[in-house]
Amino acid sequence: MIIELKNISKSYKKKLALAPVDLTFNEGECIVLCGGNGAGKSTMIKMLTGIEKPSTGKVIFHSKHKKAFAYMPDQMNFPPEFTPIEILNYYGKFLDAKKEHIDHVLKEVGLWEKRNVRVGGFSKGMSQRLNLAQCLLADTDIYILDEPTNGLDPYWVIQFKEVIQQLKQQKKTVIVSSHIMRDAIEIADKVMILFNGKVKSYGTLDCIYKEHQCESLEEVFLSVHQSEQSTV
């Protein structure tokens, strides 16, 4: 166990954004948070990263590293006049990242040839890859990625999944928020299904399929939706 969620919930005024939940995440697993808009994915991510405090409960990290986790937000607004190498050198100072590691990360996300090009002219996909790069700079046990494949073309979606597999091989814990069910199927050890601020299922895909008597995530989401609608 590397992360504990103890009775965490989140409310904004009188609106419940995430119902109370107790969960644990294990070392070396990739956990994918699945759900549509307003499901509670972003709320969960914000509480995991400390951007927002839970209304109840607490999040406990058991990381061995000084930096508990690395974070890739759904969007990073990098200064347009800076280059990738300048940006990563800046972040690297706070993380004690060596030059060799910075160079390796730039190559890993395919921006080595663009390292001296100002990011103001970057496409959405290139900016997203730089966003991933700043996250990978950290030497830690836990990586939290919010909608990381947004803006990536098919080739870089495949490469991103390779990066996830490499992190898992290093026994890193990866938490990914995504509304793309195919991502969950291909990279997840466990899936968390959120709907209307509630964790409806959490476990391996096989366990979730068995629980809902379904054969695909699409069928599970339809089942959850119908179940919620019938209780309204």
Domain with residue 179: its CATH number is 3.40.50.300
Domain count for the chain: 1
- Is the model's pLDDT at 86 over the cut of 90? yes
Q: Nearest CA to 62 among 24, 100, 88, 94?
A: 24
Residue burial 30-63, b: 16+ Cβ < 10 Å; e: rest: bbbbbbeeebbbbbbbbbbbeeeebeebebebee
Mean pLDDT, residues 136-150: 95
Confidence of residue 181 (pLDDT cuts 50, 70, 90): confident
Mean pLDDT, residues 119-139: 97
pLDDT confidence of residue 36? 86
Mean pLDDT, residues 23-48: 94
- Is the model's pLDDT at 123 over the cut of 90? yes
Q: Is residue 92 part of a domain?
A: no
pLDDT confidence of residue 232? 56
Mention every residue, 6+ apart, whose C-beta is less than 8 A from residue 108: 133, 136, 163
pLDDT above 90 covers a percentage of the chain that reads 87
Mean pLDDT, residues 60-89: 93
Amino acid at 232: V
- Is the model's pLDDT at 66 over the cut of 80? no
Q: Is residue 216 part of a domain?
A: yes
Mean pLDDT, residues 16-34: 96
Bridge partners of 31?
175, 190
Q: Is residue 54 part of a domain?
A: yes
Amino acid at 103: D
Q: Is residue 113 part of a domain?
A: no
pLDDT above 70 covers a percentage of the chain that reads 99
Mean pLDDT, residues 39-45: 94
Q: Is residue 207 part of a domain?
A: yes
Q: Is residue 120 part of a domain?
A: no
Burial class (CB in 10 A: 0-12, 13-18, 19+), 101: middle
pLDDT confidence of residue 24? 96
pLDDT confidence of residue 197? 95
Q: How far apart are CA 161 and CA 173, in angstroms?
A: 14
Q: Report CA dihedral (95, 81, 132, 184) to the nearest 10 degrees.
A: 150
Residues, the chain: 232
Q: Nearest CA to 175 among 19, 13, 18, 5?
A: 5
pLDDT confidence of residue 93? 96
Q: Is residue 150 part of a domain?
A: no
Q: What is the pLDDT of residues 209-232, one digit of tens each?
A: 999 999 999 999 999 988 887 765
DSSP class of residue 149?
A: T
Range of the domain at 183: 1-69+163-232
Q: Is residue 83 part of a domain?
A: no
pLDDT confidence of residue 230? 72
